[in-house]
Amino acid sequence: MIASMRRLIARLRGTVGGARSDGDVAAELDAHIAMATDANLARGKSPDDALRAALLAAGGVEQAKEAFRDQRGFPAVESIVRDARFALRSLRKNPGFAATIVLTLALSIGATTAMFTVVNGVLLDPLPFANGNRLVWTVNRGTRPYDAMSPPDVHDWGALNDAFEAVSGWTVSQVDVVGGAAPVHLTAVDVIGNWFTMFGVRMALGRGLVAGDEGLGKPKVAVVSYGLWRRQFGGDRSIVGKPMLLDGTKYTIVGVAPRSFQFPNDADIWRPTIPNPQLESLRGNRFYRGPVALIKRGVSFDEARRKARLVNAQLRAAYPEAQQGLDFDIQPLRDHLVGSTGRLITILFGAVGMLLLIACANVATLLLVRATGRGSEIGIRLALGAGAGRVARQLIVESLILAAVGAMLGFLLAEAGVRVIASHAASAVALASGLSIDWTVLVFATAVTVLAGLGFGLAPALQAARTDVVDALKAGGRASSMRRAASRLRHALVALEIVLVLPLLIGASLLAHSFARLVDVNPGFRADQVATFDVTLPRCGTGWAPDTTCAGVQGTTYMTEASVAGFGRQLLDRLRAMPGTQSAAISMGAPFSDWALNQGTITVVGEPRPPLDHPNIVEAKIASPDYFRTLGIPILRGRDFTDQDRAKYTERNAHEILWVAIVSESAERKYFRGNAIGKQIAFAQDATMEIVGVVGDTKTESLDGRPEPALYTAFFQSPVYYITGLVRSSADPGTVVRGIRAQIAQIDPALPVYHLRPMRDAVDASAARQQLAAGVVGGFALAALVLAMIGIYGVTAHTVRDRQRELGIRIALGAPRGRIVGLVVRDGALLVAVAIVAGIAVSAAGSRVIGGLLYGIASTDVETYAAASAVLAVVAVVAAWIPARRAARVDPMIAMRPE
Amino acid sequence: MPKLDVQQGTLALMILKTLDLLGATHGYGIGRRIEETSRNKLSLNYGTLYPALLKLEQEGFISGEWGVSENNRRARFYAITKAGRKQLVRETRAWKETSTVIGFFLAPRRGDA
């Protein structure tokens, strides 16, 4: 033990050069020879014989020195350093080859690492809170939209299910903060119960919210998000206990959430919800968003789900009317958060995996070609006594150097790639905002690199070890069985590349087609030249529990419909008066904005009541006069809203008011048998409404969605305090934006404007996911195609060199050059044809994966398959044709001359 | 007569024993002595002897120093150290045990040898 330690230390010293020098050793060996010679002389030999005998007895001097060096330091390390030096020298002699391999590796390793970072951050990482694995999302599988629950449902969801430790829902309000330099708009999330404890979150400062904070008479408290704390309060560590004015009401800040906790992801502040004491009266009013539940420790998800389904059945049986179209179930919270993004990431990861495989095959092909080209060199080294293991190691070291340089470049590429993905894809990928390359990714990248390096090194190395020395030296060793095996391996690798490239090509062109069709889709309105923005008029109290007294509230509040309508009127007039305005309107939620979707049910007077489970669902929208003109939505029949469609608050006798509504074309078709004008409907309010117009269909949330039946009510008949302004203007966007801000500041300087943007941006953003997929897969496909081309070229060039003599004879015997080209290309073409058929089979098998991302094109679109196969075939034939043509041009005399 | 190659482990033992008996000796002398003791059945070349000496020196069982030989040649002299003597005792015991055991295997019946 101690001896081996001593030896280790001495060897380390030997390695770094602190031990006996080579000269010292040589002197000792010289002394040995001298003494042996002396002894031989003493025995009566002649001086020459004496020396020869001494040398003979001593063995080879160089071998002795080598053995001595082996004992002195770490021979493996020293010889690997030698191998590395040798490898660098031989790579430098062939810079094109080295650069191709390094770039291939850098590209594939970079792409793999970037994608793995995304996959790791979004799909594999645990949710960034302690109870992540026990949290579930309540999903509605019924016919009615949304995952949302009424307050009594949320209560029962927890109370009737003993598998749940806690259940919480939330509502979202837009609030304004007044008092700073400029008014600020925030998203406030009002939550039920022990929100932060349920998630298992440790607060950055102060405390989280508890059930005891809820109630109308309680002191008003709030928790701020980490981002808001940094942004708005400059990271003030003494913030706990300080006041904050939300919509003019004073709240005390009791805590700061940690940076890692951002749920729901737009929350700036969390407040305790204000429960309505008449809980049961709210049955069916689903304003709590997707309740989240915490499963008790030790209870399985399946168990909790079984019980939840039981509670759901109980609720449906007890409240058939309120629960119509509702069918609650649970799913892991992670699944909900990742959602359909998971599929996108899977596809991208699959694509990048294929790219890496192609790159590996390509580099292996290149190294293999090089190794066979170096057959003679290796043969000479073997003949000179180098062990086969030594030669193999030399080749592995060479590959590892290439892999290491490639990995370093790849890592830099990956870092840039992740930054790009994180900034561009945050909207498409829910959890992508916090991505950064971490050590697991580094390990992954390194593992890929080392495996790739060993893989590439091993193939030629195995081949070299099998090389028969004499065979290798003999006229370049033509026609040996080793050559045939190598050629088979090369062809197999190229075939593999083609099989892998085709799905990428097909996938990329499907996605590109789909994206092109998507952005060409007519959403039913014209977004160009329209700017939209939101304002939220401050109120006292929250949501369904307004505080009409507004005690202690500062600033202007809008507690009556008259005040809201008054604001709306002023706003509309000012927008219309802005220079350049062609038309302007107000609404609640522009299409493709966060508030766009709002659903309700209608019944048509005189028609049979629809069954409970299949109500007449409409997208409920609110429009001022000119809304349709501003958005370019055609009025097909009847009329627009006008200033004469007056509201009840201006009228003494509400009964005399004509309540009006406008429906979309598809609503007319679906619910009014194609004739809606003049029909009466019941919707939300007690009074019935008369349909006065029919307008064109529009898409509300996304370009790939279907236009749903829509019902428009008049803003000035039922005004809302969440107001969206829409301005169609011929002025330049910057002027419009400044103009809008100025106009609102003149009405109410304390009112923040937000979501102010060209409408086009919102529409484009809805296709961001498809754009990302098409762009990334397209990039991969292009890279893969180039790699495959290099691979095919390399293999054909090598085959041509192998057959040079044969081709030379053919030319000498009078074969036309065209035939020579055909001969060479035909070999490659056959291989390519077989590989393409296999590639089509692989693509068809994998087409299901991509189907969900496609719009307006089938995942098995025959034309796309044919076109991609044709492109690949052409590229392959061109890659084979270039070296073939060169072979045909060669002078037969030179071709046949031995090397 | 074919000569035997020396096994690595046993060479160390031979060197230590030789140095224990002769005191400070140079590499050539050690080699000669081992060959003689083995009645010339062993042959040692540099490639075996000098790395073994270096290894023993690294382990601290012997120490080497330049000096002058009996024939006025400059040579490196090796001497056994205290740790080397302990090692020699240990190795000798281990070798004896091993050879006894091997003997059992090769001579199934007592008295045959």
A315 and A222 assigned to the same domain: yes
Q: What is the pLDDT of residue A742?
A: 93
Final residue belonging to a domain, choices A698, A726, A747: A747
pLDDT at A629 over 80: yes
A170 and A35 assigned to the same domain: no
B90 touches chain A (CB under 8 A): no
pLDDT digits (tens, 9 = 90+) for A502-537: 988 898 888 888 888 888 888 899 988 999 999 988
Q: Which of these ranges, A9-18, A680-689, A852-861, has the smallest mean pLDDT?
A: A9-18
Choosing among B35, B50, B91, which should be mutated to test the A contact, i.e. which has the most A CBs within 10 A?
B50
Which residues on A lie below 8 Å from B51 (Cβ)?
67-68, 70-71
B72 touches chain A (CB under 8 A): no
Question: Which residues does A56 contact at the CB level (< 8 Å), separation at least 6?
Answer: none
A278 touches chain B (CB under 8 A): no
> Tokens standing for A331?
């799913």
Q: Do A71 and B51 touch (CB under 8 A)?
A: yes
- Helix axis angle, B27-37 relative to B8-22, nearest 10°? 100
Decide: helix, strand or coil at residue A325: coil
Count: domains in chain A: 4
| Rounded Cα–Cα distance for residues A105 and A368 (Å) | 16
Nearest Cα residue in chain B from A6 = B59
Which residues on B lie below 8 Å from A56 (Cβ)?
none
What confidence category does residue B112 fall into, taking pLDDT thresholds of 50, 70 and 90? very low
Final residue belonging to a domain, choices A450, A477, A504: A477
Asked whether residue A498 is assigned to any structural domain, the reply reads no
What confidence category does residue A147 fall into, taking pLDDT thresholds of 50, 70 and 90? confident
A59 touches chain B (CB under 8 A): yes
A580 and A724 assigned to the same domain: yes
Helix/strand/coil percentages in chain B, nearest 5: 60, 15, 25
Q: Do B43 and A70 touch (CB under 8 A)?
A: no
pLDDT digits (tens, 9 = 90+) for A275-301: 777 778 788 778 788 789 999 999 999
Q: Do B51 and A68 touch (CB under 8 A)?
A: yes
Q: What's the mean per-residue pLDDT of chain B?
A: 82
Q: What is the pLDDT of residue A866?
A: 92
A11 touches chain B (CB under 8 A): yes
Instruction: Give me Rg for the CA atoms of chain A.
Output: 38
Q: Do B58 and A31 touch (CB under 8 A)?
A: no
Quickly list DSSP for A207-248: ----GGG-STTSPPEEEE-HHHHHHHHTT-TT-TT-EEEETT
The half-sphere exposure of A330 on its side-chain side, counting CA atoms within 13 A, is 31
Asked whether residue A285 is assigned to any structural domain, the reply reads yes
| Rounded Cα–Cα distance for residues A445 and A424 (Å) | 23
A449 and A598 assigned to the same domain: no
pLDDT at A493 over 50: yes
Q: What is the pLDDT of residue A321?
A: 80
> Tokens standing for A342?
């998971």
Reduce the secondary structure of A599-614 to three states and give it as a string. Answer: EEEEEECCCCCCCCCC
Nearest Cα residue in chain B from A34 = B73
B45 touches chain A (CB under 8 A): yes
Q: What is the pLDDT of residue B102?
A: 83
Q: Which of A739, A601, A738 is nearest to A670 (CA)?
A: A601
Q: What is the pLDDT of residue B91?
A: 87
Asked whether residue A368 is assigned to any structural domain, the reply reads yes
B98 touches chain A (CB under 8 A): no
A75 touches chain B (CB under 8 A): no
A66 and A163 assigned to the same domain: no
Find the domain containing A598 and state its range: 557-747
Q: pTM of the entire structure?
A: 0.64
Nearest Cα residue in chain B from A29 = B46
pLDDT digits (tens, 9 = 90+) for B55-77: 888 888 998 888 888 777 888 89
Q: What is the pLDDT of residue A19?
A: 60
- How far B73 CA sits from the closest chain A CA (Å)? 7
Q: Number of Cβ pairs closer than 8 Å across A and B?
A: 84
pLDDT digits (tens, 9 = 90+) for A816-838: 888 888 887 887 788 888 999 99
Per the model's pLDDT, the better-predicted residue between A507 and A373 turns out to be A507
Final residue belonging to a domain, choices A263, A294, A326: A326
> Tokens standing for A818?
């065209």
Nearest Cα residue in chain B from A25 = B50
A36 touches chain B (CB under 8 A): yes
Q: What is the pLDDT of residue B74?
A: 83
Decide: helix, strand or coil at residue A175: strand
- How far A348 CA sits from the closest chain B CA (Å)? 57
A94 and A65 assigned to the same domain: no
Burial of B26 (C-beta count, 10 Å sphere; 0-12/13-18/19+): buried
| Rounded Cα–Cα distance for residues A398 and A366 (Å) | 13
Facing A6 at nearest CB: one of B29, B60, B76: B60
- Which residues lie across from A637 on neighbouring strands? A694
Asked whether residue A874 is assigned to any structural domain, the reply reads no
- CA separation, residue A893 to residues A687, A885, B41, B99 (Å): 101, 17, 63, 72
What confidence category does residue A479 fall into, taking pLDDT thresholds of 50, 70 and 90? very low
Kindly state the average pLDDT of the residues A797-801: 75
Q: What is the pLDDT of residue A427?
A: 47
Asked whether residue A706 is assigned to any structural domain, the reply reads yes
Choosing among B5, B6, B40, B54, which should be mutated to test the A contact, i.e. which has the most A CBs within 10 A?
B54
Which residues on B lie below 8 Å from A25 (Cβ)?
50
A358 and A406 assigned to the same domain: yes
pLDDT at A725 over 90: yes
What confidence category does residue A896 fall into, taking pLDDT thresholds of 50, 70 and 90? low
Q: Note whether A593 and A755 are within 8 A (CB).
A: yes
Choosing among A9, A32, A69, which should be mutated to test the B contact, i.e. which has the most B CBs within 10 A?
A32
- How far B46 CA sits from the closest chain A CA (Å)? 5
Q: Do B45 and A70 touch (CB under 8 A)?
A: no
Q: Do B76 and A28 touch (CB under 8 A)?
A: yes
What confidence category does residue A697 fall into, taking pLDDT thresholds of 50, 70 and 90? very high
pLDDT digits (tens, 9 = 90+) for A188-232: 999 998 899 999 988 999 999 988 888 777 888 999 999 889 888
Q: Note whether A463 and A368 are within 8 A (CB).
A: yes
Return phi, psi of residue A237, to 5°.
Answer: -75, -10
Q: What's the mean per-residue pLDDT of chain A?
A: 80
- CA separation, residue A226 to residues A174, A255, A257, A260, A263 (Å): 18, 10, 5, 8, 12
Kindly state the average pLDDT of the residues A852-856: 78
Per the model's pLDDT, the better-predicted residue between B15 and A433 turns out to be B15
The distance in angstroms from the start CA to the end CA of chain A is 58
Q: Do A28 and B50 touch (CB under 8 A)?
A: yes
Q: Do B69 and A39 touch (CB under 8 A)?
A: no
Measured in whole angstroms, how far is the alpha carbon of residue A386 from the centre of its chain?
50
* Domain segments of chain B as ranges: 8-105
Which residues on A lie below 8 Å from B74 (Cβ)?
27, 31
B75 touches chain A (CB under 8 A): yes
Kindly state the average pLDDT of the residues A252-262: 88
A600 and A743 assigned to the same domain: yes
Which residues on B lie below 8 Å from A28 (Cβ)?
27, 50, 75-76
pLDDT at A694 over 80: yes
Tell me which fold the domain B8-105 belongs to.
Arc Repressor Mutant, subunit A (1.10.10)
A268 and A393 assigned to the same domain: no
